[in-house]
Structure 1
Amino acid sequence: MSKMKPVVWPQVVLLGDSITQFAFQANGWGSEIANKLAGKCDVVNRGLSGYNSRWAKILLPRLFPSGGPGNNNNNNIVAVTVFFGANDCALEDKNPRQHVPLPEYSENLKDIVRHLASVGVSADKVILISPPPLHEPAWEKECRLKGSPLNRLNPVTGQYAQACVQAAGQCGAEILDLWTLMQKDGQDYSVYLSDGLHLSDEGNQFVSRHVWRLLESRVATLPFTLPYWGDVDPQNPKSTLLCDP
């Protein structure tokens, strides 16, 4: 008896910090994307709360190993979002643990894209996402509750967002500049944030909408991985369910 071929779903991988880790919460931007792709593609959450681009770069070979026996999953990846910066931009004198200097942050992003390319995920499959704007009054309140002073500033976050945009252009990745988009035309961007830093429900909807706009062309031709229920032969379901698409 021949060995049955396993079912392998394509993957969209979400790599980032807490804004990505929380993306699978109720109404999260990642869960919205996963819902749109149900049956066609797995959406894999690799959000790591509190992480910066330095730590992500170190960890990358473990998350996306090079090819070899048992390590060929990278071939199934259709897109990767890379969403760091909200921790990197922490002020060095107030939060040295998470702070990453601006030049290093830029190089880390480019190194992440290069590593992905080296393991079979080309730059055109990568979407870099800039940190969103920081609403200082709300975030300062959160900091004070934890006994610390305000440790991030929106203009500094903007410098990191601009570095993210430049890095994407230099390495051929797609870019989603949340810092600019959320402040476009002087709109009240605080509605997009739950605590001044992390996303509110409205912010999650905003991110989901813009990520989907960039993802849609990459996943538009993906078929359903398994047959539609109405196409299953009820008299002989094996003939439908065990055949290769």
Structure 2
Amino acid sequence: MSKSSTYTELPVVKWSRHFKNVVATFMTMSKSITWPRVVLFGDSITQFSFQANGWGSEIANKLARKCDVVNRGLSGYNSRWATVVLPRIIPKRAPDASIAAVTIAFGANDCSLEDKNPQQHVPCEEYKENLKEMVKFLASAGVSNDKVILITPPPLHEEWWEKECILKGSSLNRLNSVTGQYAQACVQTASHCGVDVLDLWSLMQKDGEDFSVYLSDGLHLSDKGNQFVAEHLWRLLESRVADLPFILPYWADVDPKTPENSLL
């Protein structure tokens, strides 16, 4: 082969490699992977669930390589504000088949005493209507009722929470008995809407159990409380995600010589 023929062929070789790279990139993009999602929507009890030993992180660990667990917890929010922001979190477009489940956990702020904390307080009847409105909206966005789980607020340890309130310059602004009324309203709403409910307020106090072990400051969850929520929520979630496949092949099943045959 002469020098001249060598130089004329090099660009062809480079173009051939470039073309193959372009095709490979296009194929990868055209076969993008849709990861199913579990959306956790709620107040601070949801927002903090991705901390170390949190119930959200535990659920995410169980669903690794099967499903994205998306934390949409909003500390301090009540159900009134939640109805406003939910359409921005799950837009009402085409039916969203990628959502495997949605949890809705509000009430811990709604149940604030109106005279002590009017900014967060929401009347119990309105709280029920707000929950119904969120379930209704999700259905219109393609998230059917069988994918929705309502979660009640946990019980309140008044003595501990009063100390937190005093540190912030206020008096006790919640009562466990009132929290229980909102928890019962959540349970009733779930029954009315035909969705599942995780009644933390009742479960954590079942048979007179000392529920303080489940709380860190009287309102938010301790490590044991996070574990409690993760275990009970998983019992409701498991059937909804049981059929989700393991996404992308196990590493030992990938062809090392032509990995694209296994991965694309």
Q: Which amino acid aligns with 1:215?
A: L
**1:61 counterpart = 2:83:** no
Choose the corresponding residue for 2:40, options 14, 28, 49: 14
Structure 1 letter corresponding to 2:156: L
Q: Secondary structure at the match of 2:185?
A: helix
Return the match for 2:65 from 10, 34, 39.
Answer: 39
Amino acid at match of 1:54: R
* Structure whose residues are more often helix by fraction: 2
Q: 2:228 aligns with which of 196, 206, 209?
A: 206
**Superposition map of 1:38-187 within 5 A:** 38-68=64-94, 74-187=96-209
Q: Deviations over 1:114-173 (max 9, x none)?
A: 000000001110000000000000000000011100000000000000000000000011
Residues 80-131 of structure 1: CA distance to partner in whole angstroms, max 9, x if unpaired?
Answer: 0000000000000000000000000000001000000000001110000000
AA at the equivalent of 1:45 = N
1:191-213 residue CA offsets vs partner (Å, 9 max, x unmatched): 00000000000000000000000
2:45 maps to 1:24: no
Give every structure 1 segment of 4 or more consecutive aligned residues whose post-TM-superposition deviation is greater than 3 Å.
none
1:98 aligns to what SS in structure 2?
coil
Gaps of 5+ in 2: 1-22
TM, length-normalised to structure 2: 0.89
User: Helix, strand or coil: the match of 2:103?
Assistant: strand
The alignment-based identity, stated in percent, is: 73
> Which structure has the larger Rg over C-alpha atoms?
2
Q: Identify the match of residue 197 of structure 1 among 207, 213, 219.
A: 219
Structure 1 gaps of 5+ residues are none
Please give the TM-score of this superposition, normalised by the length of structure 1: 0.95
